[in-house]
Structure 1
Amino acid sequence: MKIGVLYSGGKDSSLAAIMLGTYYEVELNTFVFDPLRQIPTLEAAACALGFPLKKRVFKEGLLDEMVDLVISCGYPNDAINRVHQTAVESLAGEYNVVGDGTRFNDRVPMLTREAVQSLGNRTGCSYVRPLLGYVKPEVDRLVNRFLVVQYGETGTIQNGDYESEIREAFRARGLDPSSLFPAHHDQSLVVGRKDNFIR
């Protein structure tokens, strides 16, 4: 059975895809706001994992809505969670099973239990999160065993994280996002796999 996995190119979604690949036919899916945005680093990461990648485009106007939401809330969490749920809901219209790399202590992005139940009831789609029971040290241990990863702050790593495009939209409006977004937010990008990688 196919599973549509939300994919940022980072270590968590990559590790989740590896785990899910044991039981499903994995198709990676990266969502962008700008249809013209190219994602060569994510294509390379997907190739290293050995899974196909599809680029998806959010509906027009969603990015502006999310910038407005960040401004009105004074922080980005609600907007990023809204974007993530939109992506999950979109894939649920195409796949019977959808997965992502959210883990045990994640707050953003993270669907609530009620949202997951609602998704299943409305669409019949199963939403699976294989890392949900894994704390960060165990995720990092497995990542170090199987993957080659590049790290850096948001904006310096060309992954598929939603936050990067939202920050860019702030700058396009002449606004400084630094007052509303975390000062130091590390990102990751898978750039290869290690020889002991098993599929």
Structure 2
Amino acid sequence: MKAGVLYSGGKDSSLAAIMLGTYYEVELNTFVFDPARLIPTIENAAQALGFPLRKRVFPEGMAEEMAEMVISCGYPNDAINRIHQTAIGTLAGEYKVVGDGTRFDDRVPMLTRAQVQSICGRTGSTYVRPLLGYMRSEVDWLVDRLLLVEYGETGTIENGDYESEIRAAIRARGVDPATLFPPHHEQSLVVGKKKCTNN
């Protein structure tokens, strides 16, 4: 059975894809706002994992709408959760099983129980979050055993995180996104896969 995994190219979604790949035929899905945006680093990460990747595009005008939401709220959480909900809902319309890399201690993005029930009830799909029971320290331990990863601040790492495109849309409105987003947000990008060890 196929599983559509929401994929940023980062360590969490990569680890989730590896876990789901034990039982399902995984297809990675990366969402962008701009259909012309190229995603070579994410394609390389998917290739390193050995899973096919599909680039998908959010509805036209969504980046601007979400930028306005961030500006009006004064923080990005609601917008990022809305974006994530849209992505999961889109995949649930095509796959019987949908997954992502949200962890135990994630706050954003994180769908509520009611949101998950609504999506699954409407589409008949199953939403699987294999890292939901894992705290960050355990995720990092597994990632260190399995993957080669680069780290950096938002804007310095070319992954598929929603934040960079939303920041650009905010900047286009003449607003400094640094005043709206938390400082020192570390991003990750998978650049290879390690040979498994028994340690």
TM range (shorter): over 0.9
- Cross-structure match for 1:10: 10
- Cross-structure match for 2:35: 35
Structure 2 CA distance for aligned equivalents of residues 170 and 72 of structure 1: 11
1:89 aligns to 2:83 (yes or no): no
1:18 aligns to what SS in structure 2? helix
2:29 aligns to what SS in structure 1? strand
Structure 1 CA distance for aligned equivalents of residues 148 and 140 of structure 2: 11
- Cross-structure match for 1:101: 101
1:49 aligns to 2:37 (yes or no): no
- Cross-structure match for 2:163: 163
- Cross-structure match for 1:130: 130
Amino acid at match of 1:106: D
Taking structure 2 as the reference length, what is the TM-score of the superposition? 0.98
Per-residue deviation, 1:88: 0.3
Structure 1 CA distance for aligned equivalents of residues 45 and 155 of structure 2: 18
Deviations 1:24-52 (A, max 9, x none): 00000000000000000000000000000
- Cross-structure match for 2:179: 179
Q: Percent identity?
A: 76
Per-residue deviation, 1:72: 1.1
Deviations 1:94-141 (A, max 9, x none): 111100000001010000011111111111010000000000010000
Per-residue deviation, 1:174: 1.9
Amino acid at match of 2:115: A
Per-residue deviation, 1:196: 1.3
Structure 1 CA distance for aligned equivalents of residues 126 and 196 of structure 2: 31
Contact 2:68 2:170 (C-alpha < 8 Å) held by counterparts: no
Structure 1 CA distance for aligned equivalents of residues 82 and 91 of structure 2: 14
Structure 1 segments (4+ residues) deviating >6 Å: none
Task: Tell me the C-alpha RMSD between the 2 structures.
Answer: 1.1
- Cross-structure match for 2:121: 121
Per-residue deviation, 1:75: 0.2
Deviations 1:157-189 (A, max 9, x none): 000000010001112222100000011100000
Q: How many residues align?
A: 198
Contact 2:148 2:193 (C-alpha < 8 Å) held by counterparts: yes
Structure 1 CA distance for aligned equivalents of residues 72 and 174 of structure 2: 17
